[in-house]
Amino acid sequence: MRLSVLDNGHRARARLFLGATSLMSRVDSPDIVRMLLYRPDFLTRPLLDLTAPAMRGESYWTAGEREFLAMSTALRHRCPFCVDSHAELTRIAGTGEIDPDDPASARPQVRAVREFLDGPPDPGPARAAGVPDDALLAALRVRLVWDVVNRLANAFGFVLRPGQLHSGTRALHRFGYRFPAFLLAGGATASDRDPVEAMRWSVFDGPGRTGPALRRAAVTGEGLDEPLRGYAATVRDASYRIGDGDVERLRAAGLTEDEIFEVTVAATVGAALAAHDEARAVVEGRS
């Protein structure tokens, strides 16, 4: 579904940036960039603070391997926008070390951690393949990022337009998943927290157009009326099924686009954090 605020609701600094970069590249700004620059204090700052080190910081996993794991997450969510993007980024960042079209080309540890990320949280086989626990936790952060982004890309109807795959992926790789600070400034912040906890606070406890109680309810559906209850469940469990009719039903029920945006983000982040917290507890021996 398309929300008009993600195309036309940006602050002046973001509008200038989007216009300037589109003019210089002669390619429209990708949908993911437009979403991230819309109300960056609500989700974007903590998400990018998590993404940059997860995808390009020091790690047991190479940059190409992390892109391959991101592509694998996108395949699980049936997110063509992200599958195509991360397949291309696997080629760019991996420089031939791994073929995104051939999982067997990955080293055994990558294949083992992919099974860990895609299945029930059982670290045993990955450990047997030689994957250390800190690498398992690093891979979980990669999955957390794209569990969020894939659902949002599906729900908000992201598409790749002509030229965007080439220019967008190379810009992401070149800048290491970082945005100019001036584009993200302003609003509430939780920068003193770990990025995972900062995202949790920002989405569920920070200021917004909806109250924290409604945002938390989007994680479980408890206390929500239809059509919001069914919508949040679909975002959490099958985001690829979201279509224009879903947002029209929410509008007809009286929700504004800002409220729809926040509920979508809350349902998405809640589902991603639940999976992350469960798997992390297993790796750390807390469950």
Confidence band of 2 (pLDDT split at 50, 70, 90): confident
Q: How confident is the model at residue 143 (pLDDT cuts 50, 70, 90)?
A: very high
Tens-place pLDDT, residues 179-195: 999 999 887 776 678 99
The backbone torsions φ and ψ at residue 161, rounded to the nearest 5 degrees and listed phi first, read -100, 165
Q: What pLDDT was estimated at residue 192?
A: 74
The neighbour count for residue 30, using CB atoms within 10 Å, is: 23
**Mean per-residue pLDDT for 137-146?**
98
Domain limits for position 194: 5-283
Cα dihedral across residues 250, 246, 9, 273: positive or negative: positive
> What digits encode the pLDDT tens for the residues 7-62?
999 999 999 999 999 988 899 999 999 999 999 999 999 999 999 999 999 999 99
Domain total for the chain?
1
Sign of CA dihedral 215, 85, 51, 183: negative
Which of 221, 222, 252, 226 minimizes the C-alpha distance to 237?
221
pLDDT digits (tens, 9 = 90+) for 62-84: 999 999 999 999 999 999 999 99
What are residue 30's phi and psi, to 5 degrees?
Answer: -60, 155
Kindly report, residue by residue over 201-255, the tens digit of the pLDDT.
Answer: 999 999 999 999 999 999 999 999 999 999 999 999 999 999 999 999 999 999 9
Q: What is the pLDDT of residue 190?
A: 67
